[in-house]
């Protein structure tokens, strides 16, 4: 602790001394983050480096170019200030792990820390020292393409997993040669983009902003995240990139964040497009005043900040504060002793260790959704022929998912290839894609696929979304299976051969119409390089699936947004069956179905709820207990239950704890996740699982925008899904 305080003071002194030496032009140069592809690294770009007009570059991954540009910045400019070198290392660099939404399905912070660690080490090999991850936007609308990059719909789970990613990227010591700076994004509320359309407006009530969208960013800051990226989105009429409430009041005053704030790509210049400013000059003024230190890609700071200072609209002190935030990050990263750059230059190879971590992550990310008559796991000695069908069975690129700039499909192992290796000569494999891609509607190859299915003992049917159908700007108004996949499933199902459906996707899909057509279903997300080995191991029971949904699966798109931590309403739905619209008698009385919050044409409940996932074991929960039926504010207490594996295989269960505040100064969600544990049980084993809570864990931002725990009655649940009904009650009293 002593040394770290000393180091902090040492850095502050260095920053202050360097700022004193800098001209205004050099200061503004540090606030400029420019894209630097190979063709942009021109002579004029190098001239700007020498003039000290560039503080960072992004999207340059040729280590020789990076070293050349760093050399110029550090030896040919007047002050020798090194560059930040940024890249979107979102779920792997060379080795590609499951998309973040898939990694979230592992509910495994330790594993996620390791995937980020591997990614950091691989990125460093290209000279990268800053990644634009973790993405911490709470995503409750799966039409939004960026749900793929998120850690799901829940603030508590996103907080725990996002903090783990920060630790993985940054390591114990940011100045270590194998550490890179993380960047929590997109601050804030981006996941609430209206209609699930990217970059769209967000309208978020203050308490929902504080209770739902902000906690993961606070957790990232508590984990030491080095930087924050502002969102493209307009929050209640003031875009996040010019939002003083977010960037000053919350980030700097409430949370005392001392890291660096970077805009998103062009989000400063886009303030004019939003209609907040009249020109780039005003955009620069609004962003700088609000608290954006570094401008990514656009150049309003480079073009207008000096004038704004000379005209007294932005003070030199304010610019010095912005520059200090950038320099502090560079000192913390140890960039000034450029020697560590050399240590970073080693082979771009992907080690077998990194592929082992990728397989582990893929194994734990897969969620078993249905398993009728325990058709899974399969036994290859009992199967003479397996038909592999579907457009996602052998797609080494598509299985990687979105945001894989530097990933290598040649390193992918697909399910078809892995199956061939797994069954070798024991079982005959036949293959028919049926569709040329997941988005194809050309059914010309259906007949061949049907023929292959008819001759097989079982069909493994791989469907889902191509990688391009999720990710930034790739939103879908209809989240059913794209192309003619539903029809393919229908025709394969009609052969009568048992069907195991494996869905590879960047988002929850509306799958109600296919569930009854198949004998088992797994969601594998976009699993990354090791999709094949992981999925095949799970299908044949080398491991039991353990994944749990980090996001709700709707039945149909029309239910969206749908999420478990909703408020109760004054008329919660009571109907658990849908109505046959055609069967409604003419003249049926207006209130004949009961006036509650349900749909006439669809079950109001999700298809698969948050926290859900099956196992090859059978887990049973009993005897929930609270250590005290009445606790005083500030007290700690324990909630426990018994967990039994009634099955005949050893497996891992993700035990979840949910709470509810029955009456508050604001209406509170019907359930909120407040704890989870991964437990591995042998067959017939029973364990007691305990969670220690404090009344602070039940705090929320009330109408006064203050974090409070209010006395009153509470429910608490423990179970293997957000629909658990194993419940206990307790009371929080104002005083002991």
CB of 351 to ligand GLC, least distance (A): 26
CB of 232 to ligand GLC, least distance (A): 6
CB of 265 to ligand GLC, least distance (A): 4
**Contact present, 718 and 656 (Cβ < 8 Å):** yes
**Closest-approach residue to ligand GLC (CB):** 132
CB of 542 to ligand GLC, least distance (A): 36
Q: Longest C-alpha distance within the chain, in Å?
A: 85
132 or 598: whose CB is closer to ligand GLC?
Answer: 132
400 or 456: whose CB is closer to ligand GLC?
Answer: 400
415-434 residues near ligand GLC, rule: CB under 6 A: none
CB of 132 to ligand GLC, least distance (A): 3
Can you tell me which of 94, 143, 185, 555 binds ligand GLC, judged by CB under 6 A?
185
162 or 498: whose CB is closer to ligand GLC?
Answer: 162
88 or 280: whose CB is closer to ligand GLC?
Answer: 88
12 binds ligand GLC (CB under 6 A): no
265 or 701: whose CB is closer to ligand GLC?
Answer: 265
How many helices (H) and strands (E) the chain has is answered by 21, 26
Bridge-partner residues for 636, per DSSP? Answer: 694
Bridge-partner residues for 630, per DSSP? Answer: 731
| 296/31 Cα distance (integer angstroms) | 9
| 44/704 Cα distance (integer angstroms) | 53
Instruction: State both tokens at 718.
Output: 């423990």
185 or 517: whose CB is closer to ligand GLC?
Answer: 185
CA proximity to 620, closest of 679, 672, 673 = 679
Residues in the chain: 736
| 523/52 Cα distance (integer angstroms) | 50
- Residue by residue, what is the 3-state secondary structure of 682-734? CCCCEEEEEEEEEHHHHCEECCCCCEECCCEEEEEEEECCCCCCCEEEEEEEC
C-beta neighbour count of 459 within 10 angstroms: 27
Residue with tokens 């359309």, as numbered in its chain: 197
234 binds ligand GLC (CB under 6 A): no
346 or 405: whose CB is closer to ligand GLC?
Answer: 405
| 32/12 Cα distance (integer angstroms) | 21
169 or 265: whose CB is closer to ligand GLC?
Answer: 265
**Contact present, 352 and 514 (Cβ < 8 Å):** no
CB of 615 to ligand GLC, least distance (A): 35
129 or 652: whose CB is closer to ligand GLC?
Answer: 129
89-148 residues near ligand GLC, rule: CB under 6 A: 132
264 binds ligand GLC (CB under 6 A): yes
CB of 233 to ligand GLC, least distance (A): 10
265 binds ligand GLC (CB under 6 A): yes
Can you tell me which of 472, 635, 650, 697 binds ligand GLC, judged by CB under 6 A?
472
182 or 535: whose CB is closer to ligand GLC?
Answer: 182
154 binds ligand GLC (CB under 6 A): no
88 binds ligand GLC (CB under 6 A): yes
| 486/513 Cα distance (integer angstroms) | 8
CB of 153 to ligand GLC, least distance (A): 19
* 254 dihedral zone (left: phi>0; alpha: psi -120 to 50; beta): alpha
352-381 residues near ligand GLC, rule: CB under 6 A: none
Instruction: State both tokens at 472.
Output: 């930034």
Q: At what angle do helices 316-332 and 300-310 cross, to 10 degrees?
A: 140
| 236/251 Cα distance (integer angstroms) | 18
C-beta neighbour count of 117 within 10 angstroms: 20
395 binds ligand GLC (CB under 6 A): no
**Contact present, 690 and 708 (Cβ < 8 Å):** no
Residues with catalytic function: 264
Instruction: State both tokens at 644.
Output: 């039994």
393: CB partners within 8 A, 6+ apart: 414, 415, 416, 431, 433, 460, 462
Total interface residues for ligand GLC by CB under 6 A:
6
**Contact present, 191 and 213 (Cβ < 8 Å):** yes
CB of 472 to ligand GLC, least distance (A): 6
CB of 36 to ligand GLC, least distance (A): 12
229 or 319: whose CB is closer to ligand GLC?
Answer: 229
CB of 358 to ligand GLC, least distance (A): 22
| 637/628 Cα distance (integer angstroms) | 7
Q: At what angle do helices 63-75 and 43-50 cross, to 10 degrees?
A: 40
Q: Kindly compute the dihedral angle of the four CA atoms of residues 436, 440, 442, 445, in this order, to the nearest 10 degrees.
A: 30
**Contact present, 566 and 606 (Cβ < 8 Å):** no
| 722/461 Cα distance (integer angstroms) | 29
Residues of the shown chain interacting with ligand GLC in the complex, contacts defined by CB under 6 A: 88, 132, 185, 264-265, 472
């Amino acid at each position: 602790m002593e040394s770290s305080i000393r180091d902090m003071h040492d850095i502050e002194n260095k920053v202050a001394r360097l700022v004193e030496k800098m001209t205004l032009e050099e200061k503004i140069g540090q606030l400029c983050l420019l894209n630097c592809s190979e063709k942009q690294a021109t002579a004029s770009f190098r001239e700007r480096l020498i003039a000290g007009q560039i503080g960072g570059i992004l999207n340059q991954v040729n280590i020789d170019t990076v070293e050349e540009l760093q050399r110029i910045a550090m030896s040919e400019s007047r002050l020798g200030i090194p560059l930040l070198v940024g890249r979107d290392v979102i779920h792997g660099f060379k080795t590609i792990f499951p998309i973040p939404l898939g990694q979230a399905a592992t509910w495994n912070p330790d594993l996620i820390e390791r995937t980020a660690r591997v990614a950091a080490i691989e990125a460093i090999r290209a000279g990268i020292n800053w990644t634009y991850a973790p993405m911490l936007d709470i995503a409750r609308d799966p039409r939004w393409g960026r749900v793929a990059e998120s850690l799901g719909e829940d603030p508590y789970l996103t907080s725990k997993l996002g903090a783990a990613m920060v630790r993985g990227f940054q390591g114990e010591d940011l100045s270590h040669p194998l550490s890179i700076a993380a960047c929590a994004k997109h601050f804030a509320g981006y996941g609430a983009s209206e209609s699930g359309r990217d970059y769209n407006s967000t309208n978020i009530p203050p308490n929902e902003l504080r209770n739902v969208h902000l906690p993961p960013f606070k957790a990232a800051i508590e984990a030491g995240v080095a930087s924050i990226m502002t969102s493209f989105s307009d929050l209640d009429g003031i875009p996040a990139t010019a939002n003083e409430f977010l960037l000053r009041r919350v980030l700097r005053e409430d949370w005392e964040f001392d890291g660096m704030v970077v805009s998103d790509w062009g989000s400063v210049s886009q303030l004019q497009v939003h209609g907040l400013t009249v020109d780039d000059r005003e955009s620069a003024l609004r962003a700088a005043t609000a608290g954006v230190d570094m401008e990514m890609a656009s150049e309003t700071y480079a073009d207008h900040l000096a004038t704004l200072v000379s005209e007294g609209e932005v003070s030199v002190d304010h610019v010095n504060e912005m520059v200090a935030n950038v320099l502090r990050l560079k000192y913390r990263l140890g960039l000034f002793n450029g020697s560590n750059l050399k240590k970073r230059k080693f082979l771009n190879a992907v080690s077998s260790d990194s592929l082992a971590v990728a397989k582990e992550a893929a194994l734990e990310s897969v969620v078993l959704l249905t398993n009728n008559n325990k058709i899974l796991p399969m036994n290859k000695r009992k199967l003479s022929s397996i038909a592999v069908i579907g457009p996602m069975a052998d797609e080494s690129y598509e299985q990687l998912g979105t945001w894989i700039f530097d990933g290598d499909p040649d390193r992918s192992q697909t399910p078809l290839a892995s199956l061939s290796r797994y069954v070798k000569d024991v079982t005959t494999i036949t293959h028919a894609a049926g569709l040329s891609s997941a988005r194809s509607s050309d059914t010309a190859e259906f007949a061949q696929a049907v023929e292959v299915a008819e001759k097989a003992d079982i069909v493994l049917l791989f469907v889902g979304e191509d990688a391009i159908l999720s990710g930034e700007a790739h939103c879908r108004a209809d989240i059913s299976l794209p192309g003619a996949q539903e029809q393919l499933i229908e025709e394969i199902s009609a052969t009568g051969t048992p069907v195991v459906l494996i869905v590879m996707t960047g988002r929850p899909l509306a799958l109600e119409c296919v569930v009854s057509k198949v004998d088992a279903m797994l969601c594998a997300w976009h699993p990354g390089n090791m999709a094949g080995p992981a999925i095949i191991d799970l299908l044949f029971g080398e491991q039991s699936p353990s994944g749990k949904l980090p996001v709700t699966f709707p039945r149909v798109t029309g239910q969206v947004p749908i999420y478990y931590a909703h408020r109760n309403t004054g008329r919660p739905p009571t109907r658990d069956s849908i109505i046959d619209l055609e069967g409604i008698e003419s003249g049926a009385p207006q209130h004949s179905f009961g006036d509650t919050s349900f749909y006439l044409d669809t079950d109001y409940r999700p298809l698969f709820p948050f926290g859900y996932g099956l196992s090859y074991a059978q887990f049973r929960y009993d005897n929930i207990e609270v250590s005290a039926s009445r606790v005083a504010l500030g007290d700690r207490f324990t909630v426990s239950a018994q967990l039994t594996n009634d099955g005949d295989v050893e497996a891992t269960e993700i035990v979840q704890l949910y709470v509810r505040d029955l009456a508050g100064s604001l209406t509170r969600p019907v359930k909120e996740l407040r704890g989870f544990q991964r437990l591995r049980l042998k067959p017939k084993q029973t364990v007691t699982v305990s969670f220690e809570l404090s009344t602070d864990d039940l705090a929320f931002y009330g109408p006064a925008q203050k974090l409070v725990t209010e006395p009153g009655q509470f429910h608490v649940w423990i179970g293997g899904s957000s629909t658990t009904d194993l419940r206990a009650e307790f009371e929080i009293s104002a005083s002991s």
